[in-house]
Copies of this chain bind each other. A is one copy, B any other.
Amino acid sequence: MPRAGLDPAAVVAAGAALADEVGLAGLTMGSLAERLGVRPPSLYKHVDGLEDLTRRIAVLALGEAAEAIGGAVQGYAGRDALEAAARAFRAFVLEHPGRYAATIGVEPSGPDDPLTTESRRALGAFTAVLRGYGIAESETDHALRMLRSLFHGFATLQVGGGFRWSADVDESFEWLIAFVDRGLRALGTPPSTAAPAAAP
């Protein structure tokens, strides 16, 4: 029988694409094998089972998200950077719901786990946004968690069909960005702008 020419990367990429199409729950070894023109057991030559597969999809997704958000933020600061990051994040989740779902609830096994590295990278993009607001060192962790919670919550509620009633979702998202921007500005001291009380 001819070989399919698979390798771990190809299997993971196909798995990620399939998860985006049919949802993470619809990603099974059977469905993925069919998509790749192969029988289910063959996949175990490239991937260590379903759990390992979703783990690798999560790593892929975090890298892509970090790339997208980091790239979108480039050259911006303050509200512009916040907007860019928020929009890039939401666009990623809406375009790749399956990939994103794979990132939820995966536990990095240690500090050298690629999952840890990619997580940090994705987080770094948001940290850069906060830097532009001049948030105090002691508060960046909290502010970071706030941003993460807010965007994660909004995106997952939306893809989960959680916003059912009246108002326009895009409009809510813009409102939310404005809300956070005001809050962060009130909190921070822009680093390269005039200091609040410079001379005595």
Contact = CB atoms under 8 A, between A and B. Distances in A.
Contacts of A107: 161
A89 to B, nearest CB: 12
Nearest to A187: B179
A182 to B, nearest CB: 6
Interface residues of A, number: 37
Interface string A1-14: 00000000000000
By secondary structure, the A interface counts as: helix
A171 B142 contact: yes
A50 to B, nearest CB: 13
A146 interface: yes
Interface string A157-190: 1001111111100011001100110110011000
Interface string A87-130: 00000000000000000110110000000000000000000000
A148 interface: yes
A152 to B, nearest CB: 4
A153 B142 contact: no
Contact of A141 (B105, B154, B172): B172
Contacts of A150: 146, 149-150, 153
B176 A146 contact: yes
Contact of A172 (B145, B154, B163): B145
Given A152-B153, A153-B148, A175 B139 contact: yes
A156 interface: yes
A62 to B, nearest CB: 12
30 contacts: A104-B160, A104-B162, A105-B160, A107-B161, A108-B164, A139-B175, A142-B167, A142-B175, A142-B176, A145-B157, A145-B167, A145-B172, A145-B176, A146-B150, A146-B175, A146-B179, A148-B162, A149-B150, A149-B176, A150-B153, A152-B153, A152-B156, A152-B157, A152-B162, A156-B156, A179-B187, A180-B183, A182-B183, A182-B186, A186-B186
